[in-house]
Every structure is written in structure tokens, then in C-alpha cells.
Structure 1
Amino acid sequence: MVTLRAAEQTDGEVATELLMQAAGALLTDIFGNGDEARVRRYLFAAWHAGEGQYGYKNHWVACQDERVIGLVTCWHNQLPENFDRATLDVITAHFGLDESLNIVMRSQVYSSALHPPTDTQMAIGHLAITPDCRRQGVGRRLLDEMQALAVSLGKTALVLDVEQTNHSAIDFYLANQFSTLQHCPPFQHMYKPL
């Protein structure tokens, strides 16, 4: 039986691998400058810090018999004011000031192609399922949880940006009533009305 819950700090090891599955090439380019091991160390530290983009406090997990098998996050215009600051603080604490500036510059290449959610939208991201549990409805359950959260916050749509080369993810979202709004390389911006 699959259950969903808020992520916990102790989920860090599995969450790090799921984050890499969700966007490993992108994360390796931004945070690792080509070094996957470096990215994994950063993601593990960021997860444990709790706050910010890769912290456990803004993630949900799917579990099967207490084993974490899936991950998702969301963001919207009602996030705490310190969300971006917490993300930057974790980067600086982990990499130091000089490398943090390099990371910010590398991330700008991608940031300009991403679409932040409007006041009426909730964005989802980091959706990943362990390979042995794919095609069993786990991703759909996580999407349903995010949709329920969006409705409870008064949002009228879910949005996401997916890498254009991630054809299996695009097919999954299309099968779950998302449509493509825009191609903004290297991403495809997708939308689902609620």
C-alpha cells in the first residue's frame, strides 16, 4: 500500500537520489559543474538544512511499507519570505562565497527559461519515482496530492517546467491532463487547469 506524507530530514539519502532522477543533468551543470558526486553531497546537505528549494520542509514523499519510493515539491506566490534567502544560505554555507557566485551565474542560463507561477497557479517539481516502482500509479498519487493542495490554496491551475528531452516525463504529464503552453529551451512549460 502506498501512503503519502510530508518529507522528513531522515529521508535525505533516498531524496538525494530522487532529486538526481528528476533533474540530474541540470543539477550537475549548475551545482556540480559536471561532477555528480559533488551535486549529491550538496543535495544531501540542502535536504538536511530543511528550508529552501531542496530542503525537506517543502517536499512530500510516497512510501511503500515505510520505504520512500517517490518525491514531489511545489511552490507558489505564498511561500515564506525567507524561501529564496534560505536556498542561497545553504548554497553559500556548502560551497563558500566564490563558488556560490559561480553557481548563481550558471543557474541564470536556466532561470531565464523557467516560468514562475502566477497568483492563481501552483508550480510542481522534483517529481520522481524509484525505478522499481514506476508505472504503478505512484506519480499519479503525488500529482493528486499536489492538486488537492493547490485547490485548498485557491489556485486554479498546476504548472511545471520539464526538460524537453525528458520524453517519458512529458508523456506522463500529457496522460494526466497537462497541456504544453510554451517551448522555452531547454524546457517545455506545461499547464493543467483545476
Structure 2
Amino acid sequence: MITRLTETTFDQAVEDLAEILHGCVHTGASIGFILPFSRDAARAYWQERVRPGLSAGELDLFVAYVDGRIQGTVQLIPAAMPNQPHRADVAKLLVHPDARRRGLGRALMGALQERATELGRTLLVLDTRSTDPSRILYQSLGFETAGEIPGYCRNPFEPVFEPTTYMYKALG
């Protein structure tokens, strides 16, 4: 089941969200964090960085439930600048390592795209490490590569810098 969290339902979801983020970082996801990465740091990300945006109405936070627990999440962040009323960013598509290959990422992206359309957003933008397997999912959903920036992000395990690919999708 895919749902959009609200400020009211966020607090009861924090532990599941922290578990997902922690697991994804520890399996090599390039989502802004590097090892060592604690569960407390994962919890702080959700409480200190995401909750304020959710409370202010600056983002939509989608979650995927499997057997009563959140196993995946993604954020839709509409552009705030007046010259970009048509654009939104896709951020932190995460599926718990134990729940992958079940279609949760695809389902989350479907809900995100529906919400973007409801909000009148016609262009979605995201970035992903160029070697990340998520690129295959994004391409299958109709995202196109805009370009690649070499040396953009640090590998989560080693002190080497890797390229990031920027992708976009025109809706409707």
C-alpha cells in the first residue's frame, strides 16, 4: 500500500524511515551519506531535515507499507522559485534492502508522478550516482539522461569521487 504521510502520521513512521535509510546507506546507496552512518544519524535526517519541510508544506513524503511496516519511501519537492512553477524534484527513493525487487520503487514513483500531475507539475528532475542500478528503473519509467557530472559525490565506502547522472521526465 502506498500512502502520503502527513505531519500527524510522520512521528509514528520515523523509526521505519530511519531503518530504511540506515539499511540503504549500509548497502551502498549514494544518497548523500557515507560510512560510518548510525541509526541515530538516520533518525536525525528524518526529524531535522524532512519533518520541517513536510510541516511547511514544501514536500510530499510517500511511503510503501508491506505487512504493516514501511519498506520504501520517496519525496516530491516542488520547485519554489517563481520561474519554475512547472517543475519538481524527486528525492530519496529508498527501498529497504530486504524488500527490493517487489515493485515498491515503481509503485512509489507512480504515486509521486500522480501527485506531481495533481499539483500541475509537468517536469520531474532527479540525480543518481552514475553506477547506481536505480538508473535502470528511472529509464524504464521514461526518465531521460540530461548529463553526467564527473567527481560529483563520494563513494559511501571508499574515499573516491564518482560521477552523478541528472535525469528528467516531462509529464503529460
TM range, smaller chain:
0.7 to 0.9
The structure in which a higher percent of residues are helix is: 1
Residue 121 of structure 1 corresponds to 87
Q: Is the 8 A contact 1:19 1:128 kept in 2?
A: yes
Tell me if 1:42 matches 2:44. no
Aligned-residue CA RMSD in angstroms? 2.8
Tell me if 1:28 matches 2:33. yes
- Which aligned pairs between 1:84-123 and structure 2 lie closer than 5 A? 118-123=84-89
Residue 70 of structure 2 corresponds to 68
* 2-structure distance, mates of 1:24, 1:172: 14
Deviation at 1:131, TM superposition (A): 2.3
**What is the total number of aligned residue pairs between the two structures?**
147
Residue 82 of structure 1 corresponds to none
Do the aligned partners of residues 159 and 136 (structure 1) sit closer, same or farther apart at CA in structure 2, a change above 3 Å counting? Answer: same
Tell me if 1:183 matches 2:135. no
Do the aligned partners of residues 11 and 193 (structure 1) sit closer, same or farther apart at CA in structure 2, a change above 3 Å counting? Answer: same
Q: Is the 8 A contact 2:2 2:62 kept in 1?
A: no
Deviation at 1:132, TM superposition (A): 2.8
Q: Is the 8 A contact 1:70 1:128 kept in 2?
A: yes
The residue identity in structure 2 corresponding to 1:67 is R
Q: Is the 8 A contact 1:9 1:47 kept in 2?
A: no
Give the TM-score, by structure 2 length. 0.72
Structure 1 unaligned regions, length at least 5: 80-116
Q: Is the 8 A contact 2:124 2:168 kept in 1?
A: yes
Give the TM-score, by structure 1 length. 0.65
Tell me if 1:174 matches 2:139. yes
Structure 2 unaligned regions, length at least 5: 153-163
The residue identity in structure 2 corresponding to 1:41 is D
Identity %: 28
Deviation at 1:58, TM superposition (A): 4.5
Q: Is the 8 A contact 1:150 1:156 kept in 2?
A: yes
